[in-house]
Amino acid sequence: MSQPQLKDGINTKSIALIATAINNVDADFPAKTFKRLASKNLNTLELKDRVYHIIDALHQTLPADFKKSAKILMAVRKSWDISNKLDRYGFAAWAITDYVGVHGLEHPQQSLKLLQHLTSLFSAEFAIRPFIHQHPQAAWICLHRWVEHKDESVRRLASEGCRPRLPWGTQLQELIDFPMPIIALLSKLKDDKSDYVRRSVANNLNDISKDHPELVIKVCKQWSKSASKECQWIIRHATRSLVKKGHPEVFALLGYTAKPKVSFSPISLSSKTIKLGETLEFSTQLDSQLKADQNLVVDYAIHYVKANGTSSAKVYKLKNITLKANDSLPIKKRQAFKPISTRKFYPGKHHLEILLNGTAVAKKSFRLIV
């Protein structure tokens, strides 16, 4: 039996849940027609295509006048069955929030108010992005208002909705190029008590760091001067990509030793040749060369062979440690080379590197047979 996929979280039961919620607030809603339209060929579609398919069914069955449709959807939240266990991933309301982003663009004031209201059912982070692009003034007024909202879902929407490289969402190129409006917004959320909100703030900054690393380091340095414990967590999580890339300034920012003095024993491999499906075991030892404690980030990278014969590195976490003066630390790790959906393996010479505070300090090669 195949494992459930994310797309299976939007199904005929989700459609029935939407129909019931709308019918409860609008007796004239043609629930049977909606369910028929929304269910047609649904199983042939991928996740986001299912969302758009249901949006189209809503468009055909809700009033043509968006203002009337918005009034109905505004009332849906009260009748929504949040505890419904059949809504496996909470995806059922996704089409409702994104309906606003597709069909409410000509009514920004009403639509933005509706997204604020609906975002607790399913985050409106995708639906708000067209408004940021096409109605920036109205959208940013709302975003800055939402950071003060008592509902954590609304505060999170303020951050998540303007992430420049939001996964599954349309990229906001104007904010990729010039992210300062986001920084001003996130500064108001850096001490938020909600983990749900703080995680979004950190992910937003991490997005920005991919295009503007120096800016993110500068912001984090400013925040760290009087950082609450909540803000300290954000800084650590927001700089994770910079740590993986070995950006030189990020380690001192996070309290790691700026110029570590450590020696490594040669890397030992369980085999110089492994087959796809097998596991490679490697070990080494690091020895302190300093008469003081050192705070270190120890990672490793695999340089995978690509289809064209070149290689690209993937960094994996090992340890964040405090190495005591003149102390040693043995390191042992297993790396599986099993077929996965997110990576295609190619045969050839691969490389394993040990990284110390982002800098490669030891290297060993092995051959993968596919």
Write the pLDDT tens digit of every residue in 198-257: 999 999 999 999 999 999 999 999 999 989 999 999 999 999 999 888 888 999 899 999
Parallel/antiparallel/unpaired status of strands 273-275 and 359-369: parallel
Q: Check residue 1 and give its pLDDT.
A: 46
Domain 6-253, CATH: 1.25.40.290
* For the chain, counts of helices (H) and of strands (E): 16, 9
CATH 2.60.40.10 is held by the domain 262-369 = yes
Write the pLDDT tens digit of every residue in 258-270: 889 999 999 999 9
Ranges of each domain in the chain: 6-253, 262-369
Q: Which long-range contacts (CB under 8 A, 24 or more apart) does 335-341 make?
A: 335/279, 335/280, 335/281, 335/282, 335/302, 336/279, 336/280, 337/274, 337/275, 337/276, 337/277, 337/278, 337/279, 337/280, 337/368, 338/276, 338/277, 339/276, 339/277
Write the pLDDT tens digit of every residue in 66-103: 999 999 999 999 988 766 666 767 899 999 999 999 99
Radius of gyration, alpha carbons of the chain: 25
Say if CB 65 and CB 103 are below 8 A apart.
Answer: no
Write the pLDDT tens digit of every residue in 23-57: 999 999 999 999 999 999 999 999 999 999 999 99
Helix (H, G, I), strand (E, B) or coil at 104: coil
Write the pLDDT tens digit of every residue in 154-176: 999 999 999 999 999 999 999 99
Residues 6+ apart with CB under 8 A from 28: none
* Closest alpha carbon to 21 in 95, 86, 78: 78
- The stretch 109-127 carries a mean pLDDT of 97
* Measured distance CA(115)–CA(108) in Å, rounded: 10
Is pLDDT at 2 greater than 60 in this prediction? no
Say if CB 366 and CB 352 are below 8 A apart.
Answer: yes
